[in-house]
Structure 1
Amino acid sequence: MAGNKPGFLIETALLTHGLYSVDDQLLVDIWPKDIGLLAWVEKGEIKTGNIKDYIPFRKQSSRLMRIDCFNLDKALSEGLSGALTASGTMAVCAKMGIPLAVTGGMGGIGDIKGEQLCPDLPALRDLPVALISTSPKDMLDIPATIGWLMDSGVSVYGRYSPSCTGFMFKHDLVKITGVYNGELPLKKMLLLYEIPAEKRLTDMSILRRAIAAGKEAEAKGQYYHPAANRMIDVLTEGKSSLLQLDSIILNAKWAKMLV
């Protein structure tokens, strides 16, 4: 960290819209006190802060939009409020000269309306910011996502493995660039820190029902990912939310080691 500038920022879309059964107090209790900064947009202003700074914003979750790299400038110019996705956080990092962003499950290639090519991918290709993620989300085409990134010149490294096998569920192995070798995070770099296989969910019918819930929300003009996450949370009695929370915390701890 140079001066008072943080070495990385953490996205807030997951914490705001994706952890259905994790209330504000539990989030504060679980979140490490030495891990920050989180980033969000409030009334057209970029905000960063620790978990307690963020909680008053989270309380407004039902009224908050999701802000990515493509609608960030609109949100800023029109005085809007919203949680930042991975690409939105990367765009904020680029504005602030911060080299690294942190997310949990990231976007990719799939059949989600407006996200057939999620903004997370062109952000990795075009912005001078690296990203730490767990994996592309389970409902996406993970081989196509990894292939698009590598074909676009993005290096994809696993913390311990030269492959990607999914997010909360285990999928077929997809080869990536290799195992992370300690190189400082650079632009056009994605670092993956997968959830151990033994901790992942195993009932694939849960994923199918989550996809259906996401599609139903999409048809109503609502956000896909929060609806899908909520369904997985309900069907796993909250296990999935804790799994995702633990994963983004571990990603943030890794980021702290790197910058």
Structure 2
Amino acid sequence: MVVELSLPRQAAGAEHQNMSSFAQHVYALLDRTEYRRCETGEDFESIYRLRYNAYRMNELVPENASREVHDEFDELPNCHTFGIYIDGRLVSTMRLHNVSADNPASPALSVYRDLLMPRLAAGELFVDPSRFAVDAEWSRVYPQIPYVTLRLAGMACFHFQAPYCISMIREDHAAFYKRIYRARPIGDARPYAGVINCFALLYQADVLAIKNETYARFPFFRSTPMEQRMLFETPGAGELAPLTILPTAKYYREAA
């Protein structure tokens, strides 16, 4: 497979001379990216198969005849599952749970209930991202895919006004989350919920507190309130959910 990654037209302009080459490449990929909310059985089947293929490569799930990975957390009312598409091709997926005293359920909460329930009772809010999976072939072509995917976690925190992003992270993946969202460990190593042969630590990122710093380092994480609403709000009675949501970071780029 031969794929050419073209930079955005604006990157050559004087206003973008200070933008890193890495940021330019992420913007270029965002121009070809769409987020899709999983609303139908067909969407979910594709997501579950992508999870299975990614996790089997690391022997994190056993073989099964359906070649899918899903669990009870996918069915929760506070669950938001997304597919990330480049040029119409599914390349990654992530689900997010907005966790509060009214919705006290998520993968991390099931493992670290003793640490998190007192904080929920005190009124704190969390976003718990999980089931992050990337198509192995496409990740070799586009190493920017994790950033395009993880952008969803920050947007969820901003939309739900949740100060903290909590997640169970394997130690070999921790450096990525420390670099992106300044995540720090707040829980001991425990078996990772829903997979095998894996222990993880509970990490917390104070997303709202580092919002401006994050935008300065990774400007492609910016988004409009409209994009956030389209991604996370439940449609009203008689309204249809948007089929696809296009990233809006480029509007900030073009206004620079």
- TM-score band by shorter chain is 0.3 to 0.5
Structure whose CA Rg is larger:
2
Instruction: Tell me the TM-score normalized by structure 2.
Output: 0.33
TM-score, length of structure 1 as denominator length: 0.33
